[in-house]
Homo-oligomer: A and B are copies of this chain.
Amino acid sequence: MQFVCLDFEGVLVPEIWIAVAERTGIAELRLTTRDEPDYDLLMQRRLAILNAHRIRLSDIQMVIAGLEPMEGARAFLDTLRARYQVAILSDTFYEFAAPLARRLGWPTMFCHALEVASDGRITGYRLRLADHKRRTVRALLDLNFQVFAAGDSYNDTAMLGEADLGILFRAPENVRREFPALPHVAEYDALLDRFAGAAR
């Protein structure tokens, strides 16, 4: 009985903040957890930039509504869901994830939430739980599942280490170099093969 835990951005969908940076022309918003591993620092910087440019939640949601899942992501996820149980563990926010989750057939997601003022300004965020990706994997292990995980970023490495099998997927060179013990694959089929080979 297996559970597969997947990171969201970079594994199934594009990096949302990079898309926002491109569409708004604000290059500073290109920062991700790949560049700034301290998540709270990263978020405070992002929110300050948004408010300085008077960008509201609805503006970002319009950008996200125009994004597509990565090529092959839906078929990959459908294959996974027919074989295993699947949870998406992401440090994005439910308010951002929803339009993409709908396109992916509403997979179960573990995210955070935004705080939004009545005028639509994003005033803050509620981290549901620190270190939630690793803790969710731990909870599933304690519920007696075999757990596989895949992700591409610094904020995935703790969950990848906690899982029975953790795999870096299309991770940038710096992450791969810092975590040489984690196997790396670049294609969905290779990920399916790794999971199938490890299933008890």
| A interface, CB within 8 angstroms of B | 1, 78, 81-82, 85-87, 94, 98, 102, 105-113, 126, 128-129, 132, 135-136, 139, 142-145
Contact = CB atoms under 8 A, between A and B. Distances in A.
A162 B173 CA distance: 45
B113 A1 contact: yes
Nearest to A128: B144
A163 B113 CA distance: 21
Nearest to A87: B108
Given A1-B113, A113-B1, A106 B82 contact: yes
Contacts of A87: 108
B106 A128 contact: no
Nearest to A77: B106
A75 to B, nearest CB: 13
B85 A108 contact: yes
4 closest cross-chain pairs (CB), A and B: A81-B106, A139-B139, A108-B108, A129-B144
A128 B145 contact: yes
Instruction: Classify the secondary structure of A's interface with B.
Output: mixed
Contacts of A112: 1
A69 B49 CA distance: 48
Given A128-B143, A139-B142, A105 B108 contact: no
Given A129-B144, A143-B129, A144-B129, A82 B108 contact: no
Nearest to A111: B1
Given A1-B94, A81-B106, 16 more contacts: A1-B111, A1-B112, A1-B126, A78-B106, A82-B106, A86-B108, A108-B108, A128-B143, A128-B145, A129-B143, A129-B144, A132-B143, A132-B144, A135-B143, A136-B143, A139-B139
A13 to B, nearest CB: 17
